Chain A
Amino acid sequence: MSRESVYITDFVSLKNNQIKHQQKLLYKADSFLELKSFLKESYKVIGLNYPKFHKMDDLCKLGLLASEVILKEKELKTDTAIVLSNASSSLQTDYKHQNSLQQHVSPAVFVYTLPNIILGEISIKYSLKSENVFFIEETFNAKLLNDYAQVLLQSGKASSVVCGWINLINDEYDVFLCLISRKGEIPLSVENLEQLYLFENE
């Protein structure tokens, strides 16, 4: 069976108080700006109008912001899959929850003590009813993302795939998200994913 060509249709990164869309600077905040303020300012800059955003934990906020940059104004099919990964799971929120155990536990914090909640939040926002998975990896694993996206697309399980890396710990974050589909100019490959991720991290 011949494989149909698939491409990295769009990509975005969020790191060091910057948002880069296809390697172009979309927003740069002052370097001393705290994560919470950066997330709030990014919400305005990106033009996201979604009150539920403010109730999410910071990991989900990062995922929603990155998703909005690459999915806004695109005609997505509901079978668009999501393949995400990170190294720190939901530890930042887990610690917040743990620290509250001696006092009053917040249900709104507790619901975010799993990294895969972000899959649900993105699915709800973009009305996706699709395959999704969240991997915990030590570092950005381009081969894993490439192979999983290829299988989903070549098997017909998904018409496009949102995939990438969304890591957050101690307010340090590293986000690289791609939209993979049959449209585009950059072929999907391990090398291209690695290069784009490394470029965004320079």
Chain B
Amino acid sequence: MNDLHTELKLSIIEQLNLEEFSVEDIDNNDPLFGDGLGLDSIDALELIVLLEKDYGIKLTDPDQGKEIFSSINQMASFIEAHRTK
């Protein structure tokens, strides 16, 4: 697991107030929504803000989020390819 994966997990736990989760509880391939972390639509908006704030990525198409936020691995790949900071 590289630093970006850990960094993302820590950010998600902190930003989304997932008090009952630790980094070790989140597998890189776990679905973030639905049965995985149980995130909801407001959390999805928070993740969009997180991408812009921490990595300078502005999502123009909300539908992109479904794929990008499907797992930590998907998020990390997208960030590595598109980050501006």
Contacts and interface: CB of A to CB of B under 8 A. Distances in A.
A111 B38 CA distance: 18
Interface in A89-131: 104-108, 111
Given A54-B18, A54-B20, A108 B38 contact: no
B2 interface: no
B57 interface: no
Interface stretch (B42-50, B61-69, B77-85): B42-50
Contacts of A105: 49
Interface string B11-50: 0000011111000000000000000001000110110010
Contact of A51 (B20, B42, B46, B52): B20
A106 B16 CA distance: 10
A24 interface: no
Nearest to A55: B17
B49 A54 contact: no
Contacts of A40: 19
Interface in A44-103: 51, 54-55
A54 B43 contact: no
Interface residues of B, number: 13
B42 to A, nearest CB: 5
B17 A111 contact: no
A107 B53 CA distance: 13
Interface in A2-56: 40, 51, 54-55
Closest 6 CB pairs of A and B: A107-B45, A54-B19, A54-B17, A104-B53, A55-B17, A108-B46
Interface of A: 40, 51, 54-55, 104-108, 111
28 contacts: A40-B19, A51-B18, A51-B19, A51-B20, A51-B38, A54-B17, A54-B18, A54-B19, A54-B20, A55-B16, A55-B17, A55-B42, A104-B49, A104-B52, A104-B53, A105-B49, A106-B46, A106-B49, A107-B42, A107-B45, A107-B46, A107-B49, A108-B16, A108-B42, A108-B43, A108-B45, A108-B46, A111-B42
Given A54-B18, A104-B52, 9 more contacts: A51-B19, A54-B20, A55-B17, A104-B53, A105-B49, A108-B17, A108-B43, A108-B46, A111-B42
